[in-house]
Amino acid sequence: MGKSRPAAFLDRDGVINVDRGFVGHPDDFCLVDGAAEAISLLNRRGYLVFVVTNQSGIGHGYYTEADFAALTVHMSSLLAQNNAHIDDLRHCPFHPEAKIDRYRSVHPWRKPAPGMILDLLNCWEVDVESSFLIGDSVRDVESATAAGIDGYLFGGGNLLQFVKSILSEMGQA
């Protein structure tokens, strides 16, 4: 076994990109101020960086899994321009009121349930005690708490400054 590393779990919409409601296409995608720089800082500090994102827009038929995959490639390209990368990603297209039948369910990956985080913890060697989640809603923080990691509520602004404050709080300034 390798050495475990701390991880930063990031919600996507409202943390990495501006939340414009059901962002499923590159034309709708705009990075939050400081997002690429924040992820680059986390990469340089040795953090695994994971995205955990509810994507009910797929279940509601606003965009497809292929659209989501294309947008993920676009996001990765924008991040790479700032020497930043995502190590892994989980998304949950399921919703109890989804319009597309195959996505209509209460799913253990849908936040505030911790399923996406727990799956990543199972797949990677993560130092849980040094890990945290940043989300833009209470359900994100609840998901982190249920998975046994610290959760931070990002209310907007510059993500790099927010991440720096978390790292400082953790004694990693």
Tens digits of residue pLDDT in 51-77: 999 999 999 999 999 999 999 999 999
Q: How many domains does the chain have?
A: 1
Residues of the chain with pLDDT under 70: 1-2, 173
Q: Is 92 annotated as a binding residue?
A: yes
Q: Is 30 annotated as a binding residue?
A: no
In a domain, 19, yes or no: no
Which pLDDT value is given to residue 114? 98
Strands (E), the chain: 7-10, 48-54, 88-92, 132-135, 150-153
Which pLDDT value is given to residue 41? 98
Tokens at residue 112, please?
Answer: 């505030």
In a domain, 15, yes or no: no
**Is 13 a residue of the active site?**
yes
CATH of the domain at 160: 3.40.50.1000
**Is 119 a residue of the active site?**
no
Which pLDDT value is given to residue 171? 84
Q: Is 88 annotated as a binding residue?
A: no
In a domain, 63, yes or no: yes
